[in-house]
Structure 1
Amino acid sequence: MDLQLKGKSALVFGGSRGLGRAIAAELAREGARVVIVSRNEAALRQTADATGCLPLAGDLSAPGAGGELVRAASTLLDRPVDILVTNTGGPPTGSFQATDAAAWTKGFQGLWMSTVDSIQAVLPAMKANRWGRILAVTSVAAKEPQPGLVISNGLRAGLLGMLNTLSREVAAAGITVNALLPGYTNTDRMAELGVDNATMGPKIPAGRLGEPEEFAALAAFLASTRASYITGQAIAVDGGLLHSI
């Protein structure tokens, strides 16, 4: 299937590893020119060399970084960003009572404001071009709160409301806005946490962790011209883990 991404430009946050890397690689294979962002410059360079993407170092936890990175990526690409993929690491674990104001503020900047800032920066060009794709990589915690993840549970659920609202405002301009909700996926992060098929597989209807490439396939399709009538959705890629309808 030709996703008609040749000539399109993309910016992928968190693109040096895990789900972000898989998405960036898939978009590049489909012919898009891709800029990847990461704080880890060594991993960034390694991924760029392996995938043919353009590296851009940046820290989305800094105020205003989302917009600054969009502008920097446009300069690297020598054109506006057609496809924006927001993807940031999850905030630390903790209960409500153990989470102080500083942790909430840091989580809000990383998860929420980096998304808002970057979207605000890409919208003018997308509207002018009458075409754009905004994909927010979030978590199944956005739909079903997970134990010990109070910041993630709270902010990610609200983010879905914001994205759905935005999707209605920009649909007539040829811009789609969708959220992707990964479940337990076979990434380095899961390995660091000791999560594997033996520990988590029996709890997932599919019987195993997902692979990053399976998640990236959905992202690439939603970024394509063929997905022009899909917007305002929050789609889980979780092997059937979520119980909600």
Structure 2
Amino acid sequence: RYTMRLKLLTWDVKDTLLCVRRSVGEQYYAEARSRGIQVRPESLNKSFLMAYKMQNKNFPNYGLTKGLSSKQWWVDTVKQTFHLCGVNEDKILTPMAEKLYDDFCSAKNWEVFSDVREALSHCDALGIRLAVISNFDQRLERILAHCSLRHHFEFVLTSEGAGVAKPDVSIFQKALAMAKVEPGYAAHIGDDYLNDYKAARAAGMESYLVKRTGQLDSLQEEVPEEHILYSLEQVSNILNIELKKKKKKQS
């Protein structure tokens, strides 16, 4: 269908291409324990959700408009997570938060979904240009490189780099301008109904919703079945059909 005219395919990253290997609570627990701090992973998970929500509300998109760096934003979030668990020793918390920030770039903290590499390779074989649009900070380039995925993408546009976050359509418009592609020749794939599926369509692009669990919430039930990807193998199948057509024309 649209694939014949598709020139640019943009991707969300977290929970679309990659997922964290361990929960935030487990990662924070392991680092804290190595420094003699005992806090339960379950408590850290709950506190992190509260701290993250608070920080995002007070300083949206890593506090760029408030003069914060994304690193400082995350260090403050980590420290607040521990504060909520009753740990307040800044002499320990600051270096620990900085270590956790750096460690998050490592491939050991991320898992590439099993259906990703084949899907991206099919796109490459067809000559479809690929890029990333993600609500993430500057570390995403390194994370994708460490996970051996960066080479698939022409560019990686983060909300920190763009200065605006999904679901604002301007981040999609910026990506289209960078690629010099009209929205009617572009599509976006992501796991979030509002940030990915709806926002890309508002920018005039095609979009597809990744739902590996197979469970839809009430909002996602509005998405036509043909726009839902229960596995990225579905992308591969669509592109594979077009690849065969292309080879047939060339022969």
Q: Normalising by the residue count of structure 2, what TM-score does the alignment of the two structures yield?
A: 0.42
Larger Rg: 2
**Which protein is richer in helix relative to its size?**
2
